[in-house]
Structure 1
Amino acid sequence: MAKKRPEDPPKGAPAWQSTFSDLMNLLLCFFVLLFSMSTVDAEKFQLVIASLSSSISIMPAGGTSIGDGKLVGAGVSQLEFLDKYYNDLANSKSHTESTTEGEEKNVEEQYEQMELSESEKMSEEIEKQLENTSLEDAVDVDFNAEYVQLSLNGALLFESGKAEIMQEAYPVVNKISTILASYQNNLIEVEGHTDNVPVSSRSRFESNDVLSMYRALSVADYIRTNTNLDPSHIKSSGRGDYDPVADNTTADGRARNRRVEIKVYNSYNSDLNN
């Protein structure tokens, strides 16, 4: 007796449905991950969608999935207002960055104004004391947002080519030291300056740089010795002829360049730890 032919097994779903189902699952995971991000870069997101648009056959070739057409051409509609949402997000981020920069600039301007106000107040106090001691004609006072500057003519303090303070200048330096003694918590810097005429061969200083350094040191040491200021708050340096305030081609200009500057830094710029 012939064997009975077994029945054919029931046919499964078409192969394209499996492929489509896998694709839908991938898209679902993609959007779940997308919306779970704390921050989204709208520009990068658009680039990703545009890449998918041109590489997956079920999406309209050549189109962009954000802003026009459908997200998936086979029936899954693009999320409404998604384009507007990410554009608004990008604009909001740009506006926040611009606001932050403006606020930082405003804070810097306010801080600088506070520095300048303190320096101006210090300058007025020093000028008043100079008038009381009859030194207003011997000392030039200027200020900026960092410090108040007192400028003394070098000929008033030193003989030509020398760095020792003349005895005749002691009363002047004493009065200035008394004024500086009021600024116990401020950094004080003494700078020596010269003209551009080379030092004499008979001088014990090999250059204007060295001469200016020793002159600044002489004034700084005198202030340390004759005040109760913390010695570590007083610094000295020589600038030689590198920072002129007048034309070195004239005798008057060279005389103005031979000077000693005393800078009293305001509280905002007095770093006393260095």
Structure 2
Amino acid sequence: MAKHREQHEEHIDESWLIPYADLLTLLLALFIVLFASSTIDNQKFNAMKESLNAALNSGAGIMESKSLSDQLIDKTEVKTDTVVELQELKKQLDQYIKENNMTTEVETNIINNHLTLTIRDRALFDSGSAVVKPQSRKIIKAMGSILQQYPKFEVLVAGHTDNQPIYNNTFESNWDLSSKRALNCMKIMLTNKNLDPRRLVAIGYGEYRPIAENTTTEGRAKNRRVEVIINQKVIQ
């Protein structure tokens, strides 16, 4: 009986170690991917990806099908590439703005993987009007030409006003005014026949998304604007 017990103890089932080791490996891959997502250095990221793939694919017990770590890496790479392209697009727009002495009227910012180009209303319209000034049509057409080079992004053209009520026979409210301004800007962009209309959307927010206080003249001037928002959604 003692001999039988000794043989049984020598063959303890350790098969649980295999899925446990796989779980630790995948957790390590997850932390590495999360860390890598905070940088946009493609060269370093791709090198890390290749090393990680080699390590994962060489171990026993790793699933032969596409692993969770591979899927996470692929998604992170898409996000990283998007940020790089947005930065390239911003650079082109900033150069155009600077060359045309429009830095006080137009600015660009990248926030949450969106590139936003903000144009002060005085650069585009007369007070209470949605007709784009002839001299301002040039910058909108230039934006269309630049956006044409980045076909995978959607473009939202958004109109904004201050909170002062509008009184004229053309527009019943600030909502109407902001919507028409956005639509007119979008139509000018689409005079570029190489720009896919499916990529563009026009919307009016009226006074309801201010970026400054409406209690001062300066604040209201900042709120009256048109924003061109380029987002990371891939166009199919």
- Which residue of 1 is the match for residue 24 of structure 2? 95
Q: Deviations over 1:4-26 (max 9, x none)?
A: xxxxxxxxxxxxxxxxxxxxxxx
Quick check: 2:155–2:230 contact (8 Å CA) kept in 1?
A: yes
- Which residue of 2 is the match for residue 133 of structure 1? 100
Determine whether 1:207 maps to 2:173. Answer: yes
Q: Deviations over 1:48-95 (max 9, x none)?
A: xxxxxxxxxxxxxxxxxxxxxxxxx99963443626x26635642441
Structure 2 Cα separation of the partners of residues 151 and 206 of structure 1: 25
Q: Deviations over 1:221-269 (max 9, x none)?
A: 122236643333322111222322112222211110110011344xxx2
- Which residue of 2 is the match for residue 172 of structure 1? 136
Corresponding letter in the other structure for 1:80: E
Determine whether 1:216 maps to 2:188. Answer: no
CA change 1:209–1:74 in 2 (3 A) is farther
CA change 1:197–1:211 in 2 (3 A) is same
The 5 A counterparts of 1:102-141 are 102-105=31-34, 106=36, 107=73, 110-141=77-108
Deviation at 1:215, TM superposition (A): 1.1
The 3-state SS of whatever aligns with 1:116 is: helix
Deviation at 1:220, TM superposition (A): 0.8
Please, what TM-score do these two structures have when normalized by structure 1? 0.59
CA change 1:136–1:103 in 2 (3 A) is same
- Which residue of 2 is the match for residue 261 of structure 1? 227
Structure 2 Cα separation of the partners of residues 206 and 231 of structure 1: 28
After superposition, the CA RMSD in angstroms is 3.0
Structure 1 Cα separation of the partners of residues 11 and 211 of structure 2: 66
- Which residue of 1 is the match for residue 205 of structure 2? 239
Corresponding letter in the other structure for 1:98: L
The 3-state SS of whatever aligns with 2:164 is: coil
Quick check: 2:144–2:190 contact (8 Å CA) kept in 1?
A: no
Please, what TM-score do these two structures have when normalized by structure 2? 0.67
CA change 1:177–1:147 in 2 (3 A) is farther
Quick check: 2:143–2:189 contact (8 Å CA) kept in 1?
A: no
Determine whether 1:272 maps to 2:235. Answer: yes
CA change 1:92–1:226 in 2 (3 A) is closer
CA change 1:208–1:179 in 2 (3 A) is closer
Structure 2 Cα separation of the partners of residues 230 and 236 of structure 1: 14
The 3-state SS of whatever aligns with 1:254 is: helix
Structure 2 Cα separation of the partners of residues 247 and 215 of structure 1: 22
Quick check: 1:161–1:203 contact (8 Å CA) kept in 2?
A: no
Stretches of structure 1 that go unaligned for 5 or more consecutive residues are 1-72
Aligned residues: 193
User: How many percent identity over aligned positions?
Assistant: 27
Computing the radius of gyration over CA atoms, which structure comes out larger, 1 or 2?
1
Structure 2 Cα separation of the partners of residues 182 and 153 of structure 1: 20
Quick check: 1:116–1:145 contact (8 Å CA) kept in 2?
A: no
- Which residue of 2 is the match for residue 5 of structure 1? none
The 3-state SS of whatever aligns with 1:82 is: coil
Quick check: 1:178–1:227 contact (8 Å CA) kept in 2?
A: no
